[in-house]
Amino acid sequence: MAMGEFEREKLSEREKGFIRMRSITNYGMGGFMVLVGFFFMFPVKMTQGFINQYDASLIKLFAVICWMYGAFRIYRGYKKNYFRD
């Protein structure tokens, strides 16, 4: 079976459920990572003392990395490209 035939093959209900579950997980984790990035970039008053113990440039770099990873997870959930090798 050629790769093009595999891509046009209908998915079973189990595979559709798997895709739906992975997509929801990717959306959720992506949103969580974006929120973590905002938490570190703009700390609230209660956690400002804890975050200010560390180097400000590293905290900002970590926040940007969280945003990038969160955007990647949201994109992966949108593409739903799970059964392609």
**Annotated domain spans of the chain:** 12-79
Report how far residue 19's alpha carbon sits from residue 69's, in angstroms, rounded to the nearest whole number: 20
Q: How confident is the model over 3-57, as pLDDT tens digits?
A: 455 556 787 888 888 888 999 999 999 999 999 999 999 988 888 888 889 998 9
Residue type, 60: K
Task: Measure CA of the first residue to CA of the last residue in the chain; give whole Å.
Answer: 14
Q: What pLDDT score was predicted for residue 1? A: 45
Report how far residue 29's alpha carbon sits from residue 25's, in angstroms, rounded to the nearest whole number: 6
pTM: 0.77
Question: Token pair for residue 31?
Answer: 């949103």
